[in-house]
Amino acid sequence: MNFHPLQRGDLIRLVAPSSPFDVKKLERAVQILEDSGYRVTFARHVFDRNGYLAGTDHDRARDLVDALSDPDNAAVLCIRGGYGSGRLLPHLPFSSLRRNRPIFIGHSDITFLHLAFHCHMEWVTFHGPNLTGLGDFPHNAIHLLDTLSGTNPFSWELDERQILRHGISSGKVLGGNLTCMMHLLGTPFFPDLDGALLLVEDRGEALYRLDRLFMQLRLSGILYRLGGLILGSFQDCAEFNRICDMVMEHAAPLDFPVVAGLPFGHGIENHVIPLGTPFLLNTYEHILRPFQHPFAAHA
């Protein structure tokens, strides 16, 4: 699946499938998008509040379906993560959503949607900043807009210190927030990870809880079927070296490459990476890159 790069004047629809958000952060981020030449519209219920959710499940699902189904929307950008997108999965008509494929971007709780879209429709979606994060970290806005315009090569050079185990592997990059992903295990929305380069990140989790999540990956057999592991940021978690040691303890019987500290997740750096796209991970050449650029102009 190749996307057309966004151009000035294209329409970006904002949706709120999870938690309520800070309106001031929203306004700052919208200003960045509009100053860059994009038109921005809001889904109907984004400013609703229903306790810890940004509206009722029905309304948030309807907003998401409308945004993804409208051919005028070149991109659909999630305003915030938090909690709630997993509640929408039983309400989504996956068969009818196949007709249109806008660029879909988000991270954190949006992992539920990334995984379900790939599982049921094999969509390529983009793991990257939510809208409110753009106001906090303007450099992520620049990276996002470069991505939308098709100038991002989606290629990362690895520092030797980022390589926990050498190897060469290829497969689809899939994953996202580790906690959210493991909450989908055993449901009809969990994708096939055989041979995948699994990208995981998290925030605010103690070392023993991360250990428990990796143990679940291991006991379920998923860890043994992976093609490689990509560790993003683990913001406000344990010391990163201890996290890496724990991960390598679980991965010790296996031989796939493992890399760590890549700029994906809740950290200051949150780069955009296409999920569901085949990548090459070659630690000997210190490279992570796609076999084919997801934008048509570079295909």
Alpha helices in 129-206 (DSSP H): 131-136, 138-148, 178-184
Q: Are 198 and 264 in contact (CB under 8 A)?
A: no
**Distance (Å, whole) CA 190 – CA 185:** 6
On the 0-12 / 13-18 / 19+ scale of CB atoms within 10 A, 111 is buried
Of 18, 19, 85, 108, the catalytic one is 108
Q: Which two tokens stand for residue 136?
A: 């906090």
Establish whether 286 is a catalytic residue: no
Of 201, 233, 271, 293, the catalytic one is 201
**Distance (Å, whole) CA 240 – CA 236:** 10
Of 45, 266, 271, 293, the catalytic one is 266
Q: Say whether 157 sits in a helix, a strand or coil.
A: strand
Those residues with Cβ within 8 angstroms of residue 110's Cβ, 6 or more apart along the chain or in another chain: 17, 18, 78, 81, 85, 130, 176
Establish whether 201 is a catalytic residue: yes
Establish whether 122 is a catalytic residue: no
Please list the active-site residues: 108, 201, 266
